[in-house]
Amino acid sequence: MNITLTPVGHVENTITKKTFTPHGNDDPEERLKQIKKYRKETRDTFSTLVILPRYAELLDGIEKFSHIVVVYWPHRLPPEDRQLQKVHPMGRKEIPLQGIFATRSPARPNPLLISTVRLLNRKDNTLQVQGLEALHESPILDIKPMTRDVDKDDSLRFPQWIHDINQDLDCGD
């Protein structure tokens, strides 16, 4: 079965190069610094989502939400990264290899990426958001409102390596 996706718009922001890759730096401390810097930059980045004019009407009512989920395509992901089956999460060699589907790595067979971002405002066919980690000109495939009842679950569980990464990233810069 073939699936065809049509972008509904694109991202405009200042993120023009990938900060790290699945084949990243082997120095754990340097890698952690790089990831912290990346996380801070993306949290502070303001992006404009430019929706094609023919889809502008689909945005009606979106401005009433504080956060949205953006589905986008990593257009600069090298084809060889789509062949990876396992990675060390966040490039951290001390974490055992995990299957791609058990990570948020952009390296995947169908690299559909998602980010939940703060919606700042809407003007016609554009949305101003904060915290999107997509590269400039990334194609947008879909936008959904974030809703508490659907997107939050108190029974969520995570492997220990997720807690470890989050603890490392949340400690002082």
CATH number where 129 lies: 2.40.30.70
Cα separation of 29 and 39, whole Å?
A: 15
Over residues 144-151, the mean pLDDT reads: 76
Report whether pLDDT(173) > 80.
Answer: no
Report whether pLDDT(53) > 70.
Answer: yes
Asked whether residue 81 is assigned to any structural domain, the reply reads no
**The pLDDT value given to residue 167:** 76
Asked whether residue 100 is assigned to any structural domain, the reply reads no
Asked whether residue 162 is assigned to any structural domain, the reply reads no
Distances (CA, A) of 71 to 29, 133, 138, 150: 31, 11, 10, 17
Range of the domain at 138: 9-17+27-73+112-147
Q: Count how many domains the chain has.
A: 1
Asked whether residue 47 is assigned to any structural domain, the reply reads yes
Distances (CA, A) of 166 to 35, 55, 130, 134: 11, 37, 20, 20
Distances (CA, A) of 143 to 129, 155, 160: 12, 26, 31
**The pLDDT value given to residue 122:** 98
Distance from CA of residue 60 to its chain's centroid?
A: 24
Predicted model pTM? 0.82
Asked whether residue 139 is assigned to any structural domain, the reply reads yes
* Residue among 59, 74, 72, 75 at smallest CA distance from 128: 59
Asked whether residue 133 is assigned to any structural domain, the reply reads yes
